[in-house]
Structure 1
């Protein structure tokens, strides 16, 4: 315990790092030798020689700490035990008070104006008052700071009163200025992957395709080349996330734009970023989920809940054989018109029956993981036959098991033509 005459000397000799708490021995540099943190904050104490207890108390008091916090700092950081009465007496002798000798108003206004030019414009009056006390050592009233802010920054005060998050706006110079490309994975558990591209200005869907994968760079590059060929247009900038599937497309786009003379030509014509900041197409995915994919998610989920789909590779292939063309037709209609009702998905959809009962039995057994060896020998002999048979099986399964609504959509079987026509409700 240090006391009396040797107190200031002990304080100078016992210097600790304020970040890791390790005692600083010898000549103190710019960085702590233990944690490597910049400790230039201790420079005033080192340069000015021994520090008195009054200087330490005045420093903590000017930072806005309460009496209890100051006593705790003195005991734990400086090994000084002091009573509350002694602390108040020392502050009174030093003329330190928070209720008198307030800083002139013009100085406070100029300081607040300086803070509003930077990040201080985001602070409320409580945080601004704390900043004035700790950063500028000003003695101010909270109500005075509130009135000053209301006069100097009325728009900021009004915005903070709403307590609402302010979103940044999206701006695009015109059509084909920025194309946003992204993949949609909500149907991937069922073996269907979707890739889309949206124009940032008009929100026109440039392409919307489904397949077995949207992670293959060759597939995404193929979608891009087909779209550019169909429209005969190149976007000024292509915006994608950092996935490896976009590398080939980005290289092709930069190569096609290499001879252009605008500021976004060449390597500047492609921009990487996180998926969360690719706001144009991410916002479009939300509408796409409500108007399109929710229907298919519920449809495929019903198959899974009925134990007719177990997520295996064979089941995913079977589901793609049956539904991929229908789903792509729905996506194409979305790309053209932008709206499509669930009833339109079944329009003009004709399922052909194939009178091969052993093969139907084989398909049922394959879905239920109980394939009979005799039926296995009589399985499909061609991909087209397999497609037709699987279509019949899944179509009849939907009509029997999924819901009453779907059962009402299936009309009676025409035995003469051998067609199963789905009707619109």
Structure 2
């Protein structure tokens, strides 16, 4: 052939460009030895710095040589042979099984990662981070051994395969009180508001009314609780609902003249409902132990046609709710996720010295409480003054008694419904 060199039978250099424009790359073979010229095609088209950097990036990500060849062909349209890829990477000083980074450099990088979220990494993730972020060449078993030495506690936690919860801390009763509303019974006209002490888990108030969205009503519950206890908590935590604004202002006002670290505006804390753990946890217990029964009972009344969701029917149901005195006598077992001791809530609240703690509340004078108009707020138990007067008169004229159990409460509801012709 005219383009073959007569001396050694190899293609001359001035004819090679013609090969690339004339023949398909996968079908070109050497005319002398029959070897595929695909590797020459790959080398010719990967001489650019961009393609080489892409290969290096895939190499640092931990991909095998065969996968890099496939990714270059599929994602970038660049056909490169396995031998050409290895040659290019070797020229760049990249090898899979030699020229490893020094132990000191690897140790410094691991220590740097352990200061942040890297303390949660296992050795496989840390191995990838060292290669991609720090461009280090390191064996995976070496990373495993170094992590076991530098982060022994983290390795033990991951080996247990258990979720690590944060520990709840409280200095004593009235250190942190958690307030929130409960809306699961609202379809039946029962709006609940509650507050729990974080240390003793004593329910400070659990009030049932026609609403738990009125700021003046929530403030009235708070002032009534403070008046009964004679102390104001060091800190109060609520969610970001507008109904808590007045209560938060009263808390900060009553604490403004104190000299502790949490005095004034720092005595109240806003946060999400999911982080208000003490009261949210208690609502879960309350649902299982009390609210679920009332929800099913009221649903049965609704299915039987004795409740239609009207204002009058909701007023009739509001007196059927039970108290929570049993909870404050309930014994709480110790928890590994809280620094607070276990025991009976009333004992933990009133006798903190028996548990190595102290009362963190501040004494409050009644004159300070009476300065707020919410302290004199009065509302009818059923939420409607006219309806309340009518129900009281109906009970008196028919010689009916206040219910003590759910059976008598249900009977009274049906009786008053019949008398009122609702």
How far does residue 244 in structure 1 lie from its aligned partner after superposition? 0.7
Number of aligned residue pairs: give it: 307
Change beyond 3 A, Cα 1:70–1:95? same
Change beyond 3 A, Cα 1:157–1:99? same
- 1:187 maps to 185
How far does residue 233 in structure 1 lie from its aligned partner after superposition? 0.3
- Which 5+ residue runs of structure 1 have no aligned equivalent? 5-49, 340-379, 407-425
Contact 1:208/1:335 (<8 A) preserved: no
Change beyond 3 A, Cα 1:388–1:310? farther
How far does residue 124 in structure 1 lie from its aligned partner after superposition? 0.5
1:284 aligns with 2:282: yes
Equivalent residues in 2 for 1:167-186, closer than 5 Å: 167-186=165-184
Q: For 1:368-395, what per-residue CA distance to the aligned partner results, in whole angstroms no more than 9, with x for missing partners?
A: xxxxxxxxxxxx9943344579998x99
How far does residue 318 in structure 1 lie from its aligned partner after superposition? 2.3
TM-score scaled to structure 2, two decimals?
A: 0.65
Change beyond 3 A, Cα 1:283–1:61? same
Contact 1:175/1:199 (<8 A) preserved: yes
1:383 aligns with 2:391: yes
How far does residue 198 in structure 1 lie from its aligned partner after superposition? 1.0
- 1:312 maps to 310
Change beyond 3 A, Cα 1:146–1:244? same
Contact 1:206/1:335 (<8 A) preserved: no
**CA distance, structure 2, for counterparts of residue 278 and residue 298 of structure 1:** 27
**CA distance, structure 2, for counterparts of residue 188 and residue 159 of structure 1:** 43
**CA distance, structure 1, for counterparts of residue 236 and residue 54 of structure 2:** 58
- 1:33 maps to none
**CA distance, structure 2, for counterparts of residue 100 and residue 272 of structure 1:** 56
**CA distance, structure 2, for counterparts of residue 381 and residue 62 of structure 1:** 80
1:337 aligns with 2:335: no
Change beyond 3 A, Cα 1:92–1:294? same
**CA distance, structure 1, for counterparts of residue 67 and residue 54 of structure 2:** 13
Match of 1:104 among 86, 92, 102: 102
- 1:410 maps to none
Q: For 1:152-173, what per-residue CA distance to the aligned partner results, in whole angstroms no more than 9, with x for missing partners?
A: 2121111111221111011012
**CA distance, structure 1, for counterparts of residue 330 and residue 397 of structure 2:** 33
- What secondary structure is seen at the aligned counterpart in 1 of 2:313? helix
Equivalent residues in 2 for 1:321-332, closer than 5 Å: 322-324=319-321, 327=322, 330-331=323-324
**CA distance, structure 2, for counterparts of residue 59 and residue 288 of structure 1:** 56
- What secondary structure is seen at the aligned counterpart in 1 of 2:205? strand
**CA distance, structure 2, for counterparts of residue 66 and residue 225 of structure 1:** 69
- 1:90 maps to 88
Q: Please, what is the CA RMSD of the aligned residues?
A: 3.3
- 1:423 maps to none
- What secondary structure is seen at the aligned counterpart in 2 of 1:276? helix
- What secondary structure is seen at the aligned counterpart in 1 of 2:163? coil
How far does residue 284 in structure 1 lie from its aligned partner after superposition? 1.8
How far does residue 313 in structure 1 lie from its aligned partner after superposition? 2.8
Change beyond 3 A, Cα 1:174–1:102? same
Change beyond 3 A, Cα 1:270–1:137? same
**CA distance, structure 2, for counterparts of residue 270 and residue 251 of structure 1:** 8
71-80 or 221-230, which deviates more? 71-80
- 1:219 maps to 217
1:164 aligns with 2:162: yes
How far does residue 69 in structure 1 lie from its aligned partner after superposition? 5.3
- What secondary structure is seen at the aligned counterpart in 2 of 1:281? helix
Equivalent residues in 2 for 1:101-250, closer than 5 Å: 101-250=99-248
Q: For 1:160-198, what per-residue CA distance to the aligned partner results, in whole angstroms no more than 9, with x for missing partners?
A: 112211110110122211111011122112111111111
- What secondary structure is seen at the aligned counterpart in 2 of 1:195? strand
- Which 5+ residue runs of structure 2 have no aligned equivalent? 1-15, 18-47, 332-387, 412-422
How far does residue 272 in structure 1 lie from its aligned partner after superposition? 0.2
How far does residue 306 in structure 1 lie from its aligned partner after superposition? 2.7
218-227 or 139-148, which deviates more? 139-148
**CA distance, structure 2, for counterparts of residue 77 and residue 194 of structure 1:** 60
- 2:297 maps to 299
Contact 1:63/1:137 (<8 A) preserved: no
**CA distance, structure 1, for counterparts of residue 407 and residue 208 of structure 2:** 25
**CA distance, structure 2, for counterparts of residue 391 and residue 71 of structure 1:** 93
**CA distance, structure 1, for counterparts of residue 54 and residue 134 of structure 2:** 17
Contact 1:67/1:84 (<8 A) preserved: yes
**CA distance, structure 2, for counterparts of residue 271 and residue 388 of structure 1:** 46
**CA distance, structure 2, for counterparts of residue 113 and residue 121 of structure 1:** 9
Contact 1:207/1:335 (<8 A) preserved: no
